[in-house]
Structure 1
Amino acid sequence: MGHKDKNTIETGTARRWAIDAVMLAAMGVLLGFLGPFDSDSAPIGTRYSYWTICMLGGGLIAIALDERLAHRLPVLWKRVATISMLATPLVALFVLSTQCFLFGEVLRWPVYLQLLWQVLPIMLAAMTVRALAWRRLPVRVEARTIIALPLPEAEAVFRRRLSAKRRGARLIAIEAHDHYLKVHTDAGSELITLRFSDAMHDLARAHGFRVHRSWWVAGDAIEAVHWRRGGGEIRLLDGLKAPVSRTYSSRLREAGWF
């Protein structure tokens, strides 16, 4: 992966975390206004601080778990429920620590058990809002909406390496085989002598994704992406299938494929 792609992914990830933090803080302000669980008896400044801290800290704990386990939980409602339940014990401990700091309470087991049942519904609500908010984003950043880029120019250097029969064909994927590359097109496949890293350099501006250490796929050749136990498989035109590794999955996720 080039430095530009890596920087783009890191920027996108930081942006997601920033947006998540803003959403959580807004939920904290709302709960501070509503004052649930008898918190309305606390001074207004303390109440708003308490709920904002709890929602930010607790929400980020849940989001960290979600980022780790998202690939294993493709079904949205199962993902929200599972992450919320797994995060609740840790979040309840964080909330109890916040209460001790702000209100001078003592860490006690009965209070912690009571907090579990208070934290769980709030986690469910917060993670549901977050999941639905991010679920709508692919409509705006869907990879297939930017195919209008000058693809022939972006692929021109690489295409000159192909035989005359396939030089003008539709590029589907590139597969590394030792010191050779197997180039898949809609006019068939062929082997060329080229390092995979050199091919990635040639295709740096092309509309496509490196999905594995030995696979690159054209963006407009993707039909579906499926995750299986932390890894994945991508279905391409003409029935071709390619593996998707966790290392190179970020750009596919940002493009809205899963």
Structure 2
Amino acid sequence: MTNREIPSNNQQLKSEPTKNKLLQQLLIVVSIGLFIGFMRPFGMDQFTLLLSMSYWVFTCVCGYLIYMPLINLGHKYLAKSVTTLWQRVAISSLLASLIMSLIVPFIGWLFFEQTLHLADNFLLALPNTLVIGSIITFISMLQNHVDHQKQQLEQSQHVIEQSKKVIERHQQNNDINALQIEQFMALLPLEKRGKLLCLEMDDHYLKVHTDKGQHMLLMRLKDALMQLEGFPGLQTHRSWWVANHAVVSVNKENRKMSLLLTNHLEVPVSRTFVEAVKANLAL
């Protein structure tokens, strides 16, 4: 089987914010500002509710316009030296908090005509910007995570639908099995593509085991089995499927059965699938 580059429509979607995503995030930030303004923390109960809300909405929007670009730049320029996501975000957020702490005194001057003592104001503002900036950053990252999962699921469904159409056009072709596995393997990174050994359901993710390693996909097992219909293999458990060629031996202990695979993985066989496994492996 030849490894091919994944078509551009199947490549991992870029994380740069689109116009709609930017508007969604700004709406969340404005909502946070309204909520904080309503609570009137940090001694702001002496001001009117309208002034408090206006101040916090303006401050949160300014914070977003500082934090998000710096976090994106952090991902772009720190990816090689700082490989862990949360560490890059922490470094970028700290830098953004320092900048924001210089801006907050000017916002206070704009809204409340406070006297500017930049050094003192900076030290007073820094703890608050660290807390509020962390909240805004966490919510934005959470939304990005949810959006990424949704995109992964849509991408998987798209590949499945495309492969179904291709299979329908090649029903009389002897290479249909190779075509099926190639379409499925297109979901994996190039370095993980190889001989398919087994599939393992792990919570909401599908762990695909090949002779080159393993990779997690956001896909249901039954969708994967539909994709691999016709490929020589068998389901051994509600959470497991194995390729016939991957089975090295059958282990029986008391009334329990398991299959040893070429990658030294021991796959359980549940009672529901025992007879089917025996028939498939001619036991």
Question: What's the TM-score bracket when you normalise by the shorter of the two chains?
Answer: 0.5 to 0.7
**Which residue of 86, 103, 128 maps to 1:94?**
103
Structure with bigger gyration radius: 2
SS, match of residue 93 in structure 1: helix
Number of corresponding residues: 178
What RMSD over aligned residues (CA atoms) do the two structures have, in Å?
Answer: 3.7
Q: Given the alignment, which residue of 157, 163, 166 partners 1:145?
A: 157
- What residue in structure 2 maps to residue 41 of structure 1? 46
2:71–2:92 Cα contact (<8 Å) kept: yes
Looking at structure 2, the residues matched to 10 and 136 of structure 1 have their Cα atoms a distance apart, in angstroms, of 12
Offset at residue 133 of structure 1 (A): 2.1
Is the partner of 1:150 in helix, strand or coil?
helix
**What is the deviation of 1:40?**
2.0
Contact 1:144 1:219 in 2 (8 A): no
Residue 140 of structure 1: how far off its partner (Å): 1.8
Matching residue of 1:81: 90
Task: Determine if contact 1:28/1:51 at 8 Å carries over to the other structure.
Answer: yes
1:132/1:88 CA distance change after superposition, 3 Å: same
1:174-253 aligned at under 5 Å gives the runs 220-224=185-189, 235-238=191-194
Deviations 1:209-254 (A, max 9, x none): xxxxxxxxx8852424xxxxxxxxx535239xxxxxxxxxxxxxxx
Aligned to 2:68: 63
SS in 1 for 2:188: strand
Query: In structure 2, what is the equivalent of residue 196 of structure 1?
Result: none
1:99–1:105 contact (8 Å) kept in structure 2: yes
> With CA pairs under 8 Å and 6+ residues apart, which has the higher RCO, 1 or 2?
1
CA distance in 1, matches of 2:20, 2:42: 33
The normalised TM-score by structure 1 is 0.56
TM-score normalised by the chain length of structure 2: 0.52
**Cα distance between partner residues in 2 of 1:36 and 1:64:** 27
**Structure 1: 5+ residue stretches without partners:** 155-163, 173-185, 187-217, 225-233, 240-255
Relative to structure 1, is the Cα distance of residues 169 and 62 closer, same or farther in structure 2, using a 3 angstrom cutoff? same
1:56-97 CA distance string (max 9 Å, x none) = 111221011111122525534324422221100111222222
> Could you tell me which amino acid in structure 2 is paired with residue 86 of structure 1?
L
Structure 1's consecutive aligned runs of 4 or more residues displaced over 4 angstroms after TM superposition are 8-12, 151-154, 164-172
For 2:46 and 2:158, the matched residues in 1 are separated by 53
* Identical aligned residues as a percent: 20
Q: 1:105 to 1:126 in 2, by over 3 A?
A: same
Q: Does the CA-based 8 Å contact 2:163-2:180 persist in structure 1? A: no
Matched, 1:131 2:141: yes
Once residues 127 and 16 of structure 2 are traced to their aligned partners in structure 1, the CA distance between those partners, rounded to angstroms, is: 36
Question: Which residue of 121, 137, 144 corresponds with 1:111?
Answer: 121
Query: Does the 8 Å CA contact 2:108/2:114 hold for their aligned counterparts?
Result: yes
* Superposition deviation, residue 150 in structure 1: 3.2
Is the 1:21–1:56 contact (alpha carbons within 8 Å) kept by the matching residues of 2?
yes
| CA 1:148–1:121: 2 relative to 1, 3 Å | same
CA contact (8 A) 1:222 1:235 kept: no
